[in-house]
Amino acid sequence: MLKFKYIIASLLFAGAWMVQAQQTPAPSQDGSILITGATTHIGNGQVIENGAVGFENGKITFIGEASSADSASFDQVIQADGKHVYPGFITLNSTLGLVEIDAVRATNDIEEIGNILPHIRAIIAYNAESKIVESMRPNGILTAQITPREGRISGTSSVVQLDAWNWEDAAIKTDDAIHMNWPNSFTRGRWWLGETGLKPNDKYQEQLEEVSSFLKEAKAYQAGDQEPRNLAMEAILGVFDGSKKLYVNVNGQKEILDMIHFMENHGVASPVIVGGNQADAVADVLAEKNIPVIVTRPHSLPSTEDTHVKKPFMLASQLVSKGVLTGIDVSGRMERMNTRNLPFYAGTVAAYGVDKEKAVQMITGDAAKILGIDSFIGTLEEGKDATLFISEGDALDMRTNQVSKAFIQGRDISLETHQTELWKRYSEKYARD
């Protein structure tokens, strides 16, 4: 009975917290808009110092020098002299909208029971009205890959824009990829039981064989009459023809090489490495085989005792210099609230060897390439979605990232959040004193 009362109290608390209205999604673009005079970051490494971006019906219709823009042909002109315009930042491998309150299990849709679950679709659990989701937009994060967690094969991700009524409206690419957690060849001992720091994982081959058997069965299922219907096998088939990518969370040098060999043997067309702490050691191989790497949270501690203390800061530069397509994610502890710091992680890798515009590209154009959505988003080019924002200063610097306007598919979205409302409320309180 007491446990039941605790459950009811938790749900009432969650309901009271969530009942406060989220920002209403913006209506479709009405009339053409031109942003002129700003330093315009294209998202492909190029920058126009005195640029202009025009868009209509949600699509970019002009990009170039401000002097070349016909201002009179646009219904609204936004003067942005001294400011910066960027493509909307893209967060990869994210769990935004899947968990609202960690302590309330009913709001946690990050994982499912089981080990091989490619058919579990994260998109249907995505909460487009999450207060955490809306708090990303004031830092310029306008697009996200929503990804399940845990298990050997966690499930299927989708890509969303961050201003929508529901998951159907939010989705811009559904079921884009399958996500897998590669086993470790070594395990860390339990120090509290006196075990050694690292020891071989005796079940490493057994764990790989489980995945191997599943992929072989899936190919046999594909070749047969596919009766009775098997949702898990149907979901995985896309990794063989390249219609879905396979994102593999893997870090060690040995594990990365094993993964590459494994994927080639099983005919997986487009693997993507997530994490890749030791990917720099095999960067030439990754570049040759066109395998992208998503660097996980540059603001992290070194992964091993003998790793260079600044290795997490430098890894992106080491990969980019070798020609590896590289992105950034924020997975790990407190990942949802920390996702707002994505542009500052890009700023850190810029401080440790990555060219500044390349760092912008890593969370815009290159992120879109990794996701396979670069044909319509990720860079400021004619014909692409008008998903972009205006910042008062350098958006990769937390001191000057001050987003004053943001547009998703041409829609002028709200930058208000629960936090900004509280800030305004208490600013007024202390202004009265």
Tokens of 193: 């039981």
189 has a pLDDT exceeding 80: no
d(CA 47, CA 359): 13
Beta carbons of 346 and 396 less than 8 angstroms apart:
yes
Q: Is 231 exposed, middle or buried (0-12, 13-18, 19+ CB in 10 A)?
A: exposed
Tokens of 192: 């509290």
Q: Is 159 helix (H, G, I), strand (E, B) or coil?
A: strand
17 has a pLDDT exceeding 50: no
Instruction: Choose among 428, 371, 384: nearest CA to 55.
Output: 384
Q: How far apart are the first and last CA of the chain?
A: 48
Furthest C-alpha separation in the chain: 76
On whether both 46 and 107 belong to a single domain, the answer is no
pLDDT of residue 50: 96
Beta carbons of 270 and 242 less than 8 angstroms apart:
yes
On whether both 38 and 108 belong to a single domain, the answer is no
Tokens of 284: 């030439």
In a domain, 273, yes or no: yes
d(CA 184, CA 303): 13
Question: Which residues are within 8 A (CB) of 264 and not within 5 positions of it... i.e. 6 or more apart?
Answer: none
On whether both 194 and 228 belong to a single domain, the answer is yes
Q: What is the DSSP string of 256-270?
A: HHHHHHHHHHTT---
CA atoms within 13 A on the CB side of 231: 7
10 has a pLDDT exceeding 70: no
Instruction: Write the pLDDT tens digit of every residue in 73-86.
Output: 999 999 999 999 99
1 has a pLDDT exceeding 70: no
pLDDT mean over 170-181: 97
pLDDT of residue 235: 96
Tokens of 409: 């598919």
CATH of the domain at 100: 3.20.20.140
Tokens of 159: 């890509």
Helix axes 204-223, 253-265, angle to 10 degrees: 20
pLDDT mean across residues, the chain: 92
On whether both 393 and 305 belong to a single domain, the answer is no
Instruction: Choose among 45, 87, 42, 31: nearest CA to 65.
Output: 42
pLDDT mean over 12-38: 75
In a domain, 429, yes or no: no
**Residue found under tokens 């980019």:** 320
On whether both 326 and 397 belong to a single domain, the answer is no
- The number of distinct structural domains making up the chain is 2
Instruction: Write the pLDDT tens digit of every residue in 334-356.
Output: 889 899 999 999 999 999 999 99
Q: What is the DSSP string of 108-145?
A: B-S--SSSB-TT-BGGGG--TT-HHHHTTGGGTEEEEE
406 has a pLDDT exceeding 80: yes
**Helix and strand element counts for the chain (H, E):** 14, 18
50 φ, ψ (degrees, to nearest 5): -125, 75
On whether both 371 and 294 belong to a single domain, the answer is yes
On whether both 144 and 271 belong to a single domain, the answer is yes
On whether both 386 and 251 belong to a single domain, the answer is no
Pairing of strands 76-79, 84-87: unpaired
Tell me the sheet residues that pair with 198.
Answer: 188
Instruction: Write the pLDDT tens digit of every residue in 290-330.
Output: 999 999 999 988 888 888 999 999 999 999 999 999 999 99
In a domain, 8, yes or no: no
What radius of gyration, in Å, describes the C-alpha atoms of the chain? Answer: 23
pLDDT mean over 9-30: 64
On whether both 177 and 209 belong to a single domain, the answer is yes
Q: Range of 65's domain?
A: 24-88+378-415
pLDDT of residue 16: 44
Instruction: Write the pLDDT tens digit of every residue in 96-151.
Output: 999 888 778 777 888 899 999 999 999 999 999 999 999 999 999 999 999 999 99
On whether both 391 and 371 belong to a single domain, the answer is no
Reported confidence tier of residue 21, pLDDT bands at 50, 70, 90: low
pLDDT mean over 253-279: 97
Beta carbons of 408 and 103 less than 8 angstroms apart:
no
